[in-house]
Copies of this chain bind each other. A is one copy, B any other.
Amino acid sequence: MAIPEVVRKPPFNITRASHVYLTVRDLDASRRFYTEILGLVVSAQEGGTLYLRGIEEACHHSLVLRQDDAPPACDAVGMRVTDAEELALAEDHFARAGITARRVERPYENGTLRVTFDDRSPPVELCAGMPLLPRLLNDYPAQKGGRALRLDHYQCVVPDVDATAAHFMALGFRPSKFTTSVETGQIVSIFLHRKNNPHDIVLAQGGGPRLHHFCYIVSDLAALLRACDVAASFGLGRNVEHGIGRHGPPNGVFAYLRDPDGHRIELGLPPMQYMDAEERANTWDSNQGQALIPWGALPPQRWREEASSFAGVDAGEAPAARWLPQV
């Protein structure tokens, strides 16, 4: 199956992956994890909901944690459109296209549209803006753990990557890398982006939709190491699931951590720039799986198989990751 053509003039302007909504069982434990180990800062805590942002982020939140006794889940992945005008265009577009999209009320968001493409794709919330808070990038004495800078992207496991990718590419997302199955020709993983680096959302084949991980950028190797070291100080050393290691192109340096509810976070070094119209996507096939991690240990089985459910979405029984070859 071929990758669709890139849509150069999309119906409205999604600018970037911007936030994630999760449920957790113990908000105090989660707050400690995200503020002490990752170094996120608290923008607000109200009732059972905690709003967090990275130290360079001015927008109100990039991670929202809601305490819930139900099994931990992801409520939605969030994307930004430029402003209210673009959100209105989005609403019109989805109405015309016959895609379910409804306005929802989200605190600290200046207009939110929840989009459900189908029952095999992740629910997406488009947000038109947020209140601004001070960037804390140069409040050095207050910075903790990994000093996470900003949300960069998230990865979802979906049963039909071709179909889900087509939904996003119709909105102007552009592939920077994809891997096809040597057996079926189908896409087993694809990196899609709107902002100027290789990834806003990554899709990988498996039982889903589920959220595999979301990624915060940290400044340097020392910050990556510090996050892991602090995790160990809090008795959560085994929550560092994979890394410190290197990805194949686009060559990210990573550590993957699991939060107290098992949600997976990638901490990554600043990514490359990827933005010119003529740039080519990196293409792989499924025989090249080993090169996804060009050196060191390959991901453990739990990294391949486990992922967060989306609240209220039946992800079926299939294991999460058929997309990473056994190597």
Using CB atoms and an 8 Å cutoff, list the residues of chain A in contact with chain B.
8, 15-16, 36, 56, 58-59, 80, 82-83, 110, 129-130, 132, 135, 137-141, 144-145, 149-150, 195-196, 219-223, 225-226, 228-234, 236-246, 248-251, 253, 255, 269-270, 272-273, 275-280, 290, 293-297, 300
Contacts and interface: CB of A to CB of B under 8 A. Distances in A.
Contacts of A238: 290, 295
Contacts of A140: 226, 229-230, 232-233
A58 to B, nearest CB: 5
User: Which 10 residue pairs of A and B lie closest in terms of their CB atoms, listed nearest first?
Assistant: A222-B222, A237-B295, A270-B270, A232-B294, A221-B221, A240-B295, A244-B244, A140-B229, A232-B295, A240-B296
Contacts of A223: 222
Q: Is the interface of A mostly helix, strand, loop or mixed?
A: loop
Given A149-B272, A244-B244, A277-B83, A295 B231 contact: yes
Contact of A58 (B230, B244, B280): B280
A127 to B, nearest CB: 10
Given A196-B195, A233-B139, A59 B295 contact: no
A16 B275 contact: yes
Contacts of A297: 242, 297, 300
Contacts of A36: 141
Given A228-B296, A295-B228, A296-B228, A276 B58 contact: yes
A60 to B, nearest CB: 10
A255 B135 CA distance: 24
